[in-house]
Amino acid sequence: MTPIWLKQSPSGIILSLHCQPGAKQTKVVGLHDGCLKISLQAPALENKANEHLLAWLSKQLKVPQKQIQFVSGQNSRKKRVEIWGSITVEQIEQILAP
């Protein structure tokens, strides 16, 4: 069964994330309110945390960063990110599952 934070969309895969900026290291820390909770080793100012999140997801999932974009929540802790390309829901779940 697909986790609640992972959803296939017509154009790609949507991740529902709860991000906690200003952490010691960037990592998945579990689930929060139906979202995958990620601590980010970047401050929540001048878009640094968002840029760091996209770079980190790109590296973890081995997907070019241009294939990852925000759907919503750039200015909130609760974010929705869409990924497209050759990666599957199963692969994302395997790599990111808490």
**61-89 confidence digits (pLDDT tens):** 999 999 999 999 999 999 999 999 999 99
**28-43 confidence digits (pLDDT tens):** 999 999 999 999 999 9
Neighbours of 61 (CB within 10 A): 19
d(CA 4, CA 95): 15
Is residue 1 over pLDDT 90? Answer: no
Cα 74–78–83 angle (5° rounding)?
A: 65
Cα 44–55–43 angle (5° rounding)?
A: 15
- What's residue 12's pLDDT? 97
Six token digits for residue 40: 């980010």
- What's residue 39's pLDDT? 98
